[in-house]
Amino acid sequence: MNVLVTGGAGFIGSSLVKRLVAEGHQVLNVDRLSFTGCRQTIADLDSNPAHELLQADICDAAAMTRAFSEFRPDWVMHLAAESHVDRSIHDPASFIQTNIVGTYTLLEAAREHWNFRISEAGVSEEGEYAPSEHPSSDLRDSAFRFLHVSTDEVYGSLGETGHFTESTRYDPHSPYSASKASSDHLALAWYHTYGLPVIVTHCSNNYGPYQFSEKLIPVVISKALSGQAIPIYGRGENVRDWLHVDDHADALLTVASKGEPGETYNIGGNNELRNIDLVQMLCRLLDECVESGKLKADRRKGKSFAEQITFVADRPGHDFRYAIDAGKIKRELSWEPRRDHQVGLRSTVQWYLDNQSWWKTEIAE
Q: Domains of the chain: which residue ranges?
A: 2-212+243-271+322-339
pLDDT at 141: 44
Q: Does domain 2-212+243-271+322-339 have CATH number 3.40.50.2300?
A: no
Band (124; pLDDT cuts 50, 70, 90)? very low
Query: Measuring CA to CA, which residue among 195, 14, 16, 218 is closest to residue 107?
Result: 195
Q: Torsions phi, psi of 324, nearest 5?
A: -95, 135
Query: Measuring CA to CA, which residue among 189, 98, 107 is closest to residue 146?
Result: 107
Residue 292 scores a pLDDT above 60: yes
pLDDT at 123: 45
Query: Measuring CA to CA, which residue among 40, 109, 116, 124 is closest to residue 76?
Result: 109
Percentage above 70 pLDDT, the chain: 90
34, 87 contact by CB (below 8 A) = no
- Residue 152 annotated among the catalytic residues of the structure: yes
pLDDT at 143: 86
Three-class secondary structure assignment of 210-229: CCCCCCHHHHHHHHHHHCCC
Beta bridge partners of 205: 242
Active-site option among 57, 138, 153, 287: 153
pLDDT at 119: 82
pLDDT at 317: 83
C-alpha to C-alpha distances, 124 to 119, 130, 131, 281, nearest whole angstrom: 10, 7, 10, 63
* Strands 26-31 and 51-55, bridge-based pairing: parallel
Q: Within 13 Å, how many C-alpha atoms sit on residue 243's CB side?
A: 30
Rounded CA gap, 301 and 309, in Å?
A: 18
3-state SS assignment for residue 258: helix
pLDDT at 99: 97
Active-site option among 31, 152, 246, 247: 152
Over range 243-267, report the average pLDDT.
Answer: 97
Over range 122-148, report the average pLDDT.
Answer: 56
**Chain-centre distance for alpha carbon 216:** 15
Active-site option among 104, 155, 176, 322: 176
322, 151 contact by CB (below 8 A) = no
Helices (H), 23-83: 61-71
pLDDT at 39: 87
pLDDT at 122: 63
**Chain-centre distance for alpha carbon 240:** 15
pLDDT at 136: 47
Band (298; pLDDT cuts 50, 70, 90)? low
pLDDT at 35: 67
Residue 138 scores a pLDDT above 80: no
Residue 139 scores a pLDDT above 80: no
Rounded CA gap, 276 and 36, in Å?
A: 25
Residue 178 scores a pLDDT above 70: yes
pLDDT at 297: 67
Give me the amino acid identity at 87: R
pLDDT at 299: 56
216, 179 contact by CB (below 8 A) = no
DSSP calls for 150-208: EEGGGG--B-SS--B-TTPPP---SHHHHHHHHHHHHHHHHHHHH---EEEEEE-EEES
Band (129; pLDDT cuts 50, 70, 90)? very low
Band (361; pLDDT cuts 50, 70, 90)? low
C-alpha to C-alpha distances, 61 to 6, 57, 77, nearest whole angstrom: 14, 9, 17
pLDDT tens digits along 215-240: 899 999 999 998 999 999 999 999 99
3-state SS assignment for residue 16: helix
